[in-house]
C-alpha cells in the first residue's frame, strides 16, 4: 500500500460511507469523508487528496458533475460508486473522466486493490518522473509508453498519465499495428473492467486516447476510424503539435 495515501470518501449514505472509511482506515490510509459534493469541494480546496471514492447519486450536485469538474483541473484518482446497474450511467462516468466504476453491493477488497493501483499512478504523474525497471515502448515518433506508470512520454518532456482503460486500449493497438480491430475485439482487451460492453465504451476511450496522443480528433493520423468495422492504429505519421 502506498504510505500515508490520502483518500476522500463521498457518499450521502452513512452506512456505506462508514463502511468504506473504516475499511480504508484499517488498511492504513489517511481517510477523509463528506456526505455531499459541496462538502467534498471544500475539503479538496483545503487538502491534497490522491483518491476519491465518489457516489454518483448525491443530493444537489451529483457525482458525475463533480467528476467532470475535478478532471478538468486534477489527475486525482476517481472511483465512482453507484447503486444502479445502468449502462448509460457507466458510459457517462467514463466520459466524465472516472478511472473506475463499481456497483453496490461491492467487495471492499476489490475497491482496495483498484485504489492501490490508482494511488500509485497519481503519485508517479505528480512526481513527473519516468518509472524505472522496464523499457519504454515506442508509440510513434516522439512518443513512448512507460508501462510501469501507465504514462505517455512526449518529445517535449511532458508526461501524460493514462487511466487503466486507456492504457489497455493503447496496448491492444500497439500489439496490432496497421490492423483494423472491431469494437468487440478491442473490448476483449479491456480486462478487469466493470464497464458494460458496448460500442460507446470503446468510442469514448478512443476519443480520450486521441487527445492524450495529441492526435487531431477532426482529422486523426494515429488512430483511424474504419467506418462499419472499427479502428486501425497507424503509428507511422507524426500528429500535428
C-alpha span between 86 and 196 (Å, rounded): 9
pLDDT attached to residue 54: 94
Among the three residues 100, 126, 152, which one is the final residue of a domain in this structure? 126
Whether residues 27 and 115 fall in one domain = yes
Burial status of residue 175 (CB atoms within 10 A of its CB: 0-12, 13-18, 19 or more): exposed
pLDDT attached to residue 192: 46
Whether residues 10 and 111 fall in one domain = yes
Largest CA distance in the chain: 53
pLDDT attached to residue 194: 47
Buried b (16+ CB within 10 A) or exposed e, 116-138: bbbbbbbebbeeeeebeeeebee
Tally of structural domains, the chain? 2
Whether residues 158 and 94 fall in one domain = no
Among the three residues 85, 102, 126, which one is the final residue of a domain in this structure? 126
Whether residues 112 and 156 fall in one domain = no
Whether residues 18 and 99 fall in one domain = yes
For residue 114, what is its C-alpha cell? 483498484
- Would you say residue 1 lies in a domain? no
Whether residues 13 and 112 fall in one domain = yes
Whether residues 185 and 115 fall in one domain = no
C-alpha span between 18 and 24 (Å, rounded): 10
The parent domain of residue 28 ranges over 6-126
Contact between residue 96 and residue 68 where contact means Cβ atoms under 8 Å apart: yes
C-alpha span between 13 and 128 (Å, rounded): 37
What are the strands of the beta sheet with 30-34, ordered from one edge?
30-34, 6-10, 51-55, 77-82, 100-103
Among the three residues 126, 152, 177, which one is the final residue of a domain in this structure? 126
pLDDT attached to residue 122: 73
C-alpha span between 119 and 123 (Å, rounded): 6
C-alpha span between 121 and 124 (Å, rounded): 5
Whether residues 95 and 145 fall in one domain = no
Q: Which H or E run includes 55? A: strand 51-55
- Would you say residue 112 lies in a domain? yes
Contact between residue 47 and residue 39 where contact means Cβ atoms under 8 Å apart: no
**pLDDT tens-place values along the chain, 241 residues long:** 455 789 999 999 999 999 999 999 999 999 999 999 999 999 998 998 999 999 999 998 999 999 988 887 777 889 998 877 666 777 788 778 888 888 888 888 888 888 888 887 777 666 654 445 456 788 988 899 988 767 888 989 888 888 777 888 999 999 999 999 998 888 877 754 444 545 577 888 898 899 999 998 889 999 999 998 999 999 865 444 4
CA triple 177-134-99, angle to 5 deg: 70
SS3 at position 7:
strand
pLDDT attached to residue 128: 53
CA-nearest of 148, 108, 95 to 125 is: 148
Contacts of 171 (CB under 8 A, 6+ apart): 145, 147, 189
- Would you say residue 241 lies in a domain? no
- Would you say residue 238 lies in a domain? no
Whether residues 183 and 156 fall in one domain = yes
pLDDT attached to residue 84: 74
C-alpha span between 98 and 91 (Å, rounded): 10
Whether residues 133 and 73 fall in one domain = no
What's the pTM? 0.62
Whether residues 78 and 134 fall in one domain = no
CATH number of the CATH domain containing 164? 1.10.10.10
- Would you say residue 121 lies in a domain? yes
Amino acid at each position: 500500500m502506498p504510505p500515508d495515501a490520502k483518500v476522500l470518501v463521498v457518499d450521502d449514505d452513512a452506512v456505506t460511507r462508514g463502511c468504506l472509511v473504516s475499511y480504508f482506515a484499517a488498511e492504513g490510509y489517511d481517510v477523509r469523508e463528506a456526505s455531499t459534493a459541496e462538502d467534498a469541494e471544500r475539503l479538496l480546496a483545503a487538502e491534497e487528496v490522491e483518491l476519491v471514492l465518489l457516489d454518483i447519486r448525491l443530493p444537489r450536485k451529483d457525482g458525475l458533475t463533480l467528476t467532470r469538474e475535478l478532471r478538468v483541473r486534477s489527475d486525482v484518482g476517481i472511483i465512482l460508486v453507484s447503486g444502479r446497474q445502468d449502462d448509460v450511467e457507466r458510459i457517462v462516468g467514463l466520459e466524465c473522466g472516472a478511472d473506475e466504476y463499481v456497483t453496490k453491493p461491492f467487495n471492499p477488497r476489490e475497491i482496495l486493490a483498484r485504489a492501490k493501483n490508482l494511488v500509485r499512478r497519481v503519485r508517479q504523474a505528480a512526481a513527473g518522473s519516468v518509472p524505472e525497471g522496464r523499457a519504454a515502448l515506442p508509440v510513434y515518433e516522439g512518443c513512448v509508453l512507460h508501462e510501469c506508470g501507465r504514462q505517455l512520454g512526449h518529445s517535449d518532456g511532458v508526461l501524460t498519465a493514462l487511466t487503466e482503460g486507456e492504457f489497455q486500449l493503447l496496448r491492444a493497438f500497439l500489439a496490432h499495428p496497421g490492423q483494423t480491430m472491431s469494437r468487440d475485439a478491442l473490448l476483449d482487451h479491456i480486462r478487469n473492467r466493470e464497464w458494460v460492453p458496448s460500442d460507446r465504451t470503446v468510442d469514448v476511450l478512443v476519443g480520450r486516447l486521441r487527445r492524450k496522443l495529441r492526435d487531431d480528433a477532426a482529422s486523426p493520423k494515429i488512430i483511424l476510424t474504419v467506418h462499419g468495422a472499427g479502428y486501425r492504429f497507424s503509428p507511422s505519421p507524426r500528429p500535428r503539435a
